[in-house]
Structures are given as structure tokens and as C-alpha cells.
């Protein structure tokens, strides 16, 4: 029995008294209770005052209004468009599902369907240098006609691969969001249907970009994403899962119609030239999608909330530069991270104090010189509030803006902090471009001091401490049998086990701070996967090395490029554990100052090798590349400006290759060096091959024979496969 029978597909025969009171041409409300208000409210309360609401709607419009109260669909018209992507089309639909969201869309590829919505908070949050956007992506098992294999059948905490897709959605959208917009933005994405052939991840990036473009969120460009595979010599846009099984490349790319915003991918020592060709193919596909979406937005997109953008006053930049100028230059010349950070923090407090003493800012109040405060607009002759459009919702009254009295304060403290950070970034970029020197004294192509030590932990199967400048990773390797493999729960009804996985940990102590410690963050999951996929191509096959391999990378110091330090440290630890690796590998992070002309340069983009944390925060690009002198195994690029072009990417890739060569040479001088043999504490695995028809004899009736073998030999376990491979642990 339903709790409310009115929702059981039928309604009561007697019309609702409330609806009857609305079904008239002119509407009248009465409001008699006293208004509860806060101390700062501008709405006056009068306990005995009656406020009446009258509709000015024309009589002929009243029937339409009555129909809307009866529960008829919203007046928004559904739109759909087919967009060519690769060798097929995707179907984009909006206006049918999720009509109360600021923007919502369903995108279909084959029988895979993604639904994405975008919503905004009504009230802006406190100003910050970080855009208040959250992304959640969920693969529902019902999309593939399944339920979870665990005890709890309802989807709960996001799985690791869902977190990775959340990051793929977030990273290209964030650079397109306009500064000064502080309304919390939430992007929700669900896989509603999955056919096992068309992957949902690239589709989810495109769906999110379309939903944002249709919404009220102020963004500069439409964003779309595609996956690129390489089968033979042919690049494939959005390849199927079967095509990806034969692909030499797994590239995710997102961008706009004129620039690339994000790339992430994995390959087996693919040359940089091939990688650039793949990026070009992917960007051409993104351009075509963006052009079609822009046409759809013109038809049914919502107006952008440009009036909600609040930027710090321009004159504040001049005040901060005048006060901090010379001291800021000196602080940026401090080479060590912690002393430099403390010096900048003290200088920021000094700027705030001076501006406060001069009467420009107050820590207790904010700038309200031009703030518009809503007040109830009441007719002096009648206690009525006019409703212009004839629709009344809970608490809706017509308001007009009124200027609050101006006060002598000019700037808010939070604006001063935001401007100080921007000015610091400007001075740092200017120092690099004009002086050719970075904060630690290196040239743009310079690599920090590298040091490696292996065998630090005697009971671990393999360990290494890799240090590059002020970034340090403690990598530990553990070897085990198949029972130690990582089980992956996915939409496909096939059990997947990973025999190699890398787990990355970034504790707050590595940057000298106090913070949360617990479940891994999204950043930790993303960095761990990048390092894992970078190292995977150099591992031996299961036939040659039948161990499950776990690598832990704990960042003990961090000043940029900690994921790349995990790759270098993980490689040394694997060697120390005696894993027979195919070749050497290293990782490096590249940065960028795009507009050098602004800082006294000739306008040519400046690429930085092996960037530090401040260069990452103040720069325009974070491009991580792993591999060796022969090619690339993993890469990840995030852009903080409007995007980069292929020539810039080409220069960055070539400069990264030279950096990797230098790093690999330094890693050969590791002292003490890796042992390159199995630890005496590692489990031993004996593998033998028997005839397949003899397997039942070894197992025995009810498993009696194999249990007796385990007891007599003292083995931990024995595994027998159908093809006759016997593994004794």
C-alpha cells in the first residue's frame, strides 16, 4: 500500500480546495502572522500588518496558469541533436529530464546513456581563489542489468575508477569558469545504460561540458571530450571496448573549439611524434562537437549569470603592489619552500595591516559602497505587493533594489588576500621571464638535485627513498600470491583482478601542515593511478614473474612533482625487490608561462622543466610525462588558462624527453644501489606444468590429495589451473 494514494497514478475526484482558490482570474493572498527576521534583515515586520498579493495576469492567461497547477509538464521544449563523432553519431537531448536543474542533458552513444545535471546555489559563498565546483559521477549497476556483488546492494561511496572519471570531468571545465563567480556549482553524472561496447567516460566529459554550456554558469567556452585509440597505424575516435583491446594508445582529450585543456593517457613507449598526431586527431573531433553544441546553446541555452561576478576593485592591485613591491621581490628569492612561505605570509599580514590603518579595509566589515539591498516594495495606499507574471511561489514577492548607505570602507580583507596572491604570481612570473632565474636559482630547463637510496627497510621486500629537490617519496614494494590481487568491481559481469597496483599517500606533514588523515583523497587516487599506469609497461609477464606486486608511495616531502617522484621511487623499489623489469623509467613535470610579453619577454611561451609547487600554482600548465629516451608510457596535462596549442605541446614533450634522460642518468648513481634480487622475506612461488588430464588426480576426491600435499610440504597454498599450471606458495 502506498503511503499517499494520490501518487498512485490517479487523483481524488474532489478538486483540491487550495487549487480552487487559485483558479480565478485575480489572485489575493492574506498574510497575517508576524514576520520573523534577523537583526540585519532589511524587511520590516509588523505583527498586525496584512500583505495582499494581486496578480496582474490577463484573464486569457489564467487557464494556462491553472493548467500548470494541475501538474502539467513544464513549458520547456525538448531539443535533440545528433553530432558526428568518429565513425558514428552521438545523440544529445535536453529539456525532457531534469528540468528544474540549471542545465541537464542526456547523451547517448550506441546503447550507453549518460545523464548529467548542473545546479547552482542561490546565495554565493565566501570569495576564494578556488572555484566552488564539485563533480560526482556514478556508474549504476542497473545500467548493465546487474546489482552489486557485495553485501550492500545500493551504490555507495565512489569507487576508484569513478573518482578518476570525476577528475576527468572537473579538470577541463575548471579553467573555463569565469573568475569572481562564487555560487557553489554541482555537476552530477550518472550512467543510466551501458551496452558493454561504448565506454561512458569520454561521453561523461562531453555531457558535463554540454550541461554547463546550457546552464546559467558563466563559462568562457564550450568543452567536449573524446578518447583516441591507435590500432595499427590508424587513430580511432571514441573506440569501442573491443577496439581498445588491440590499441597501443589510450588517450583522453578535452578542449574547446580553439585550444586543448586536458590530456591524459597511457601507452607502451609511444614516440612523441605519434602522440602529437593523436592529440591533433582528438582536437579536431572536439572542435566538431563544440560547434554543434554552440548551435544548440543558441536555441535553448539559459542566460549566463554575468551580473553575479564580483571581482576585486582594480585600484586594490595598485595599493598592494606599492606596499609589497620590493619586499615581495626579496621574499620570492628565498630558495627554501618553508622560509619563503612564511615570509610571504608575514608580508600579506603587513599589507592588510597597513591598508587597515589607512582606513581602506576592515577585518570585521566588507565593502558595501555599491551593494544593492532588496527591500519589499509596498504601495502606500494599499497593503499589496504586485506580482508581475501572475505566478506565485512560496515566499515570492516583488522587490526593488535599494542602495545601502555608503561607508568609508573600500576593500574587504578577503579581496586583499586574493589580490596579494595574484600579485605574487605576477612577480614570480616576471622574475622567471626577465631574469631567466627561478625561485631556487635554476634556469628554465634546469633539474633539481637528485638523490636515491635503496634497501632502507630491512623487512620490506623492496624499498627506496627518492629525493628531488624538496620533493621526496618513500616507495615500498610487497610481493604476494594471487590472493593479494586487487579485485575491481565494474559494470561488466566479469571479475577483474589487478596483479599490480600502486597506492599513493600524501600526508599533511609532507608540506609541514596539519590536516585530515583518513581515506585517500581524489587527488591521491588520481596520482596513484598515473604512477601505476606509467610503471605497468616495464613489468614482466605473469609467466615470467608469477607474483602479485603492490607498491606504496608515501610522500614525505613535497614541493611539486610528487607523482613523478613516485614513479622514480617506485622503479628503484621494484628493482630492490628483485622484479625483473624490462627497462628503466622516470617521470618529470613541465610548466609554462604563456604570455611572456606581459613580463618583458618577446611573446614566445616559456617552458619550465621539473616545476616546483609555486611554479605549478602560479604557472599556466602542469604537464606530467613519464617514460624513457625511447618513448612515453604515461602523460597528464592540466591547463589553467584558455588552452594550449600543438606547437606548445610539442616543445614541452621534447624538453621533457631531455629532462628524463638526465634524471635516468642520476638514478643510476643511487647509493646504496638496488639489490636486484628477491628478499629472503619474500614468499617463494614454485610453478610447474602437468598434463591437463592429471589435474583431478592431484586434487583428489573432495580435495583430500591436495590437502595432504600442503600438510606434508608445509606450503601455504597450492593453486591449480585448468590448463595444468600448478603454483605452490
- CB-CB contact of 517 with 507 (8 Å): yes
Residue 486 has pLDDT above 60, yes or no: yes
Among 37-46, 73-82, 84-93, 132-141, name the one with the lowest average pLDDT. Answer: 37-46
What are the contacts of 677-680 at 24+ separation with CB within 8 A?
677/578, 678/461, 678/479, 678/577, 678/578, 679/460, 679/461, 679/462, 679/577, 679/578
Give the list of residues 6+ apart from residue 182 with CB closer than 8 angstroms, or none. 124, 125, 126, 127, 128, 132, 308, 310
What pLDDT band is residue 698 in, cutting at 50, 70 and 90?
confident
Residue 420 lies in a domain: no
| 576 plus 519 within the same structural domain | yes
Among 128, 117, 138, 135, smallest CA distance to 172 is for 135
Helix, strand, coil distribution of the chain in percent, nearest 5: 35, 25, 40
Q: What is the pLDDT of residue 325?
A: 87
- Please give the share of the chain, as a percent, with pLDDT higher than 70: 82
Burial 527-557 (b: 16+ CB within 10 A, else e): bbbbbbbbbbbbbeeeeebbbbbbbbbbbbb
Q: What is the pLDDT of residue 490?
A: 75
- Higher-pLDDT residue of 10 and 566 is 566
| 120 plus 222 within the same structural domain | yes
| 646 plus 707 within the same structural domain | no
Q: What is the pLDDT of residue 716?
A: 73
Q: Which three cell numbers stand for residue 466?
A: 627518492
What pLDDT band is residue 640 in, cutting at 50, 70 and 90?
confident
pTM of the model: 0.81
| 603 plus 562 within the same structural domain | yes
| 546 plus 567 within the same structural domain | yes
Task: Quickly tell me which residue has 602522440 as its cell.
Answer: 275
Q: Taking residues 209-214, report their average pLDDT.
A: 97
The DSSP symbol for 215 reads S
Per the DSSP assignment, residues forming a β-bridge with 79 are 94
| 54 plus 168 within the same structural domain | no
DSSP 41-63: --S---TT---EEEE---GGGHH
Residue 27 has pLDDT above 50, yes or no: no
| 174 plus 103 within the same structural domain | yes
Burial 399-424 (b: 16+ CB within 10 A, else e): eeeeeeeeeebbbbbbbbbbbbbbbb
Among 707, 685, 643, 564, smallest CA distance to 254 is for 643
Q: Which three cell numbers stand for residue 93?
A: 537531448
Residue 422 lies in a domain: no
Residue 265 lies in a domain: yes
Q: What is the pLDDT of residue 148?
A: 75
Q: How many domains does the chain have?
A: 4
- Higher-pLDDT residue of 153 and 569 is 569
Q: Which three cell numbers stand for residue 35?
A: 514576520
Residue 273 lies in a domain: yes
Q: Which stretches of 174-271 are DSSP H helices?
A: 200-214, 241-245
Per-residue pLDDT tens for 675-695? 999 999 998 877 777 787 777
Residue 37 has pLDDT above 50, yes or no: no
Helix (H, G, I), strand (E, B), or coil: what is residue 27? coil
Q: What is the pLDDT of residue 686?
A: 75
> Residue 533 sits in a domain of what CATH number?
3.30.230.70
Helix (H, G, I), strand (E, B), or coil: what is residue 462? strand
| 691 plus 617 within the same structural domain | no
Residue 75 has pLDDT above 60, yes or no: no
Residue 391 lies in a domain: no
3-class SS letters over 305-340? CHHHCCCCCHHHHHHHHHHHHHHHHHHHCCCCHHHH
Q: How many C-beta atoms surround the C-beta of residue 15 within 10 A?
A: 11
Among 185-199, 270-284, 297-311, 391-405, name the one with the lowest average pLDDT. Answer: 391-405
- CB-CB contact of 576 with 477 (8 Å): yes
Burial 188-197 (b: 16+ CB within 10 A, else e): bbbbbbbbbe
What is the spatial distance between Cα 353 and Cα 390, in angstroms, rounded to a whole number? 52
Tell me whether residue 560 is exposed, middle or buried, using C-beta atoms within 10 angstroms of its C-beta: 0 to 12, 13 to 18, 19 or more: buried
| 632 plus 533 within the same structural domain | yes
Q: What is the pLDDT of residue 141?
A: 87
Question: In terms of residues, how long is the chain?
Answer: 729
Where a domain ends, among 41, 69, 97?
A: 69
Look at strands 548-557 and 399-403 and give their pairing.
unpaired
Helix (H) or strand (E) holding 161: helix 160-173
| 256 plus 130 within the same structural domain | yes
Residue 175 lies in a domain: yes
| 112 plus 65 within the same structural domain | no
Residue 642 has pLDDT above 90, yes or no: no
Four-residue CA torsion sign, 317, 322, 327, 332: positive
Among 392-401, 484-493, 669-678, name the one with the lowest average pLDDT. Answer: 392-401
Where a domain ends, among 308, 333, 357?
A: 308
What pLDDT band is residue 607 in, cutting at 50, 70 and 90?
very high
Residue 522 lies in a domain: yes
| 272 plus 141 within the same structural domain | yes
Per-residue pLDDT tens for 284-342? 999 999 999 999 999 999 999 999 999 988 899 999 999 998 899 999 988 899 999 99
Residue 34 lies in a domain: yes
Look at strands 496-498 and 486-488 and give their pairing.
antiparallel
Where a domain ends, among 667, 696, 711?
A: 667
Per the DSSP assignment, residues forming a β-bridge with 114 are 107, 191
CA–CA–CA angle 12, 17, 19 (5° rounding): 85
What is the spatial distance between Cα 42 and Cα 403, in angstroms, rounded to a whole number? 11
Structural domain span for residue 84: 79-308
Q: Which stretches of 17-139 are DSSP H helices?
A: 17-22, 62-69
Q: Mean pLDDT across the chain, nearest whole number?
A: 82
Amino acid at each position: 500500500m502506498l503511503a499517499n494514494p494520490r501518487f498512485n497514478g490517479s487523483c481524488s475526484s474532489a478538486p483540491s480546495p487550495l487549487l480552487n482558490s487559485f483558479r480565478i482570474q485575480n489572485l489575493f493572498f492574506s498574510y497575517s502572522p508576524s514576520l520573523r527576521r534577523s537583526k540585519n534583515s532589511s524587511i520590516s515586520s509588523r505583527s498586525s500588518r496584512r500583505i495582499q498579493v494581486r496578480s496582474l495576469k490577463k484573464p486569457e492567461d489564467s487557464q494556462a496558469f491553472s493548467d500548470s497547477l494541475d501538474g502539467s509538464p513544464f513549458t520547456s521544449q525538448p531539443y535533440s541533436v545528433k553530432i558526428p563523432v568518429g565513425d558514428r553519431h552521438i545523440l544529445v537531448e535536453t529539456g525532457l529530464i531534469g528540468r528544474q536543474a540549471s542545465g541537464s542533458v542526456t547523451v547517448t552513444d550506441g546503447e550507453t546513456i549518460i545523464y548529467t545535471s548542473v545546479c547552482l546555489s542561490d546565495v554565493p559563498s565566501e570569495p576564494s581563489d578556488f572555484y566552488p565546483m564539485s563533480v560526482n559521477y556514478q556508474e549504476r549497476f542497473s545500467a548493465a542489468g546487474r546489482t552489486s556483488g557485495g553485501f550492500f546492494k545500493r551504490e555507495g561511496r565512489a569507487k576508484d575508477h569513478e573518482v578518476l572519471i570525476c577528475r576527468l570531468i572537473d579538470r577541463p571545465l575548471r579553467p573555463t569558469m569565469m573568475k569572481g563567480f562564487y555560487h557553489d556549482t554541482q555537476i552530477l553524472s550518472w550512467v543510466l545504460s551501458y551496452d558493454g561496447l561504448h565506454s561512458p567516460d569520454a561521453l561523461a566529459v562531453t555531457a558535463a561540458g554540454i550541461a554547463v554550456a546550457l546552464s546559467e554558469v558563466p563559462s568562457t567556452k564550450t568543452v567536449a571530450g573524446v578518447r583516441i585509440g591507435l590500432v595499427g597505424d590508424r587513430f580511432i575516435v571514441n573506440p569501442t571496448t573491443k577496439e581498445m583491446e588491440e590499441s597501443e594508445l589510450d588517450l583522453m582529450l578535452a578542449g574547446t573549439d580553439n585550444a586543448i585543456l586536458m590530456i591524459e593517457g597511457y601507452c607502451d613507449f609511444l614516440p612523441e611524434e605519434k602522440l602529437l598526431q593523436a592529440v591533433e586527431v582528438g582536437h579536431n573531433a572536439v572542435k566538431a562537437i563544440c560547434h554543434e553544441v554552440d548551435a544548440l546553446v543558441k536555441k535553448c541555452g539559459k542566460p549566463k549569470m554575468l551580473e553575479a561576478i564580483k571581482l576585486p576593485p582594480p585600484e586594490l592591485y595598485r595599493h598592494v603592489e606599492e606596499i609589497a613591491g620590493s619586499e615581495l621581490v626579496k621574499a620570492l628569492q628565498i630558495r627554501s619552500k618553508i622560509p619563503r612561505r612564511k615570509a610571504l605570509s608575514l608580508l600579506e599580514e603587513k599589507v592588510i595591516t597597513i591598508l587597515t590603518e589607512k582606513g581602506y579595509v576592515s577585518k570585521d566589515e566588507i565593502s558595501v559602497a555599491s551593494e544593492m539591498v532588496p527591500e519589499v516594495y509596498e504601495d502606500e495606499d494599499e497593503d499589496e505587493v504586485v506580482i508581475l507574471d501572475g505566478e506565485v511561489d512560496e515566499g515570492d514577492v516583488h522587490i526593488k533594489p535599494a542602495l545601502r548607505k555608503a561607508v568609508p570602507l573600500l576593500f574587504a580583507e578577503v579581496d586583499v588576500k586574493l589580490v596579494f596572491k595574484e600579485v605574487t604570481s605576477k612577480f614570480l612570473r616576471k622574475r622567471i621571464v626577465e631574469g631567466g632565474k627561478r625561485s631556487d636559482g635554476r634556469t628554465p630547463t634546469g633539474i633539481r638535485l637528485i638523490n636515491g637510496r635503496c634497501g632502507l627497510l630491512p623487512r620490506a621486500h623492496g624499498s627506496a627513498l627518492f629525493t628531488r629537490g624538496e620533493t621526496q617519496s618513500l616507495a615500498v614494494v610487497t610481493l604476494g600470491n594471487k590472493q593479494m590481487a586487487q579485485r575491481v568491481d565494474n559494470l561488466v559481469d566479469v571479475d577483474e583482478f589487478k596483479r599490480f597496483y600502486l597506492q599513493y599517500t600524501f600526508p599533511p606533514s609532507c608540506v609541514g601542515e596539519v590536516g585530515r588523515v583518513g581515506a585517500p583523497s581524489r587527488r591521491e587516487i588520481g596520482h596513484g593511478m598515473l604512477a601505476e599506469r606509467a610503471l605497468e609497461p616495464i613489468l614482466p609477464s605473469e609467466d615470467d614473474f608469477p607474483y602479485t606486486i603492490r607498491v606504496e608511495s608515501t610522500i614525505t616531502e613535497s614541493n611539486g612533482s610528487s607523482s613523478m617522484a613516485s614513479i622514480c621511487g617506485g622503479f628503484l623499489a621494484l628493482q630492490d625487490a628483485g622484479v625483473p623489469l624490462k627497462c628503466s623509467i622516470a617521470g618529470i613535470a613541465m610548466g609554462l608561462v604563456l604570455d611572456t610579453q606581459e613580463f618583458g619577454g618577446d611573446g614566445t611561451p616559456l617552458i619550465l622543466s621539473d616545476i616546483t609547487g609555486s611554479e605549478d600554482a602560479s604557472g599556466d600548465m602542469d604537464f606530467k610525462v613519464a617514460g624513457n629516451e625511447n618513448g612515453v608510457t604515461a602523460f597528464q596535462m592540466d591547463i589553467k588558462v584558455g588552452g594550449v596549442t600543438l606547437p606548445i605541446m610539442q616543445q614541452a614533450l621534447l624538453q621533457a624527453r631531455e629532462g628524463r634522460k638526465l634524471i635516468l642518468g642520476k638514478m643510476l648513481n643511487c647509493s646504496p644501489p638496488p639489490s636486484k634480487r628477491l628478499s629472503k622475506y619474500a614468499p617463494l612461488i614454485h610453478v610447474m606444468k602437468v598434463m591437463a588430464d592429471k589435474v583431478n588426480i592431484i586434487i583428489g576426491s573432495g580435495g583430500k590429495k591436495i590437502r595432504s600435499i600442503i600438510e606434508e610440504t608445509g606450503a601455504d597454498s597450492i593453486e591449480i589451473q585448468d590448463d595444468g599450471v600448478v603454483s605452490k606458495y
